[in-house]
Amino acid sequence: MIDFQNAKYLKMKEDSALVPLVTPLLLQGERVIGAYRSMRDGVVFTDKRIIAVNVQGVTGKKKDFTSLPYSKIQAFSIETAGVLDLDSELELYFSGLGKVKFEFAAQSNLVQIQAVIAAYTL
């Protein structure tokens, strides 16, 4: 599993290239809402969970997929981009796991992401 205490996903941008990687992991009827990627790692938001993708090794063939179900989220916060601070942040607090932090490029639509999370957690 990804060590969320010592790593964070830096300035991810929307990128649908991750969708084929996680498609075999999806439940019947589960649908992808958005996919975001940094240099190698990424995160996919579905209507049931968040799937964090950690690409490992020199060749990148080895990948770790961590499923973070919305049902385990106790609290979350978003920080939108500003004038000088151009990145956005999403912090999630999971029971049994602790804080998970994702950073997004300024053009990412965190308001839409938080609306999905709120719909499934509140």
DSSP string, 54-84: EEETTTS-EEEEEEEEGGGEEEEEEE---SS
Kindly tell me if the per-residue pLDDT of 8 is higher than 60.
no
**Cα–Cα nearest to 65, from 11, 119, 94, 22:** 22
CA atoms of 2 and 98, how far apart (whole Å):
13
- pLDDT tens-digit map of 48-99: 999 999 888 777 788 899 999 999 999 999 887 766 666 788 999 998 888 9
Q: Give the number of other Cβ atoms within 10 Å of residue 60's Cβ.
A: 9
- pLDDT tens-digit map of 30-39: 999 999 998 8
Residue 27: band (very low, low, confident or very high) from pLDDT cuts 50, 70, 90:
very high
Residue 114: band (very low, low, confident or very high) from pLDDT cuts 50, 70, 90:
confident
User: Within 13 A of 54's CA, how many CA atoms are on the CB side?
Assistant: 14
pTM of the model: 0.85
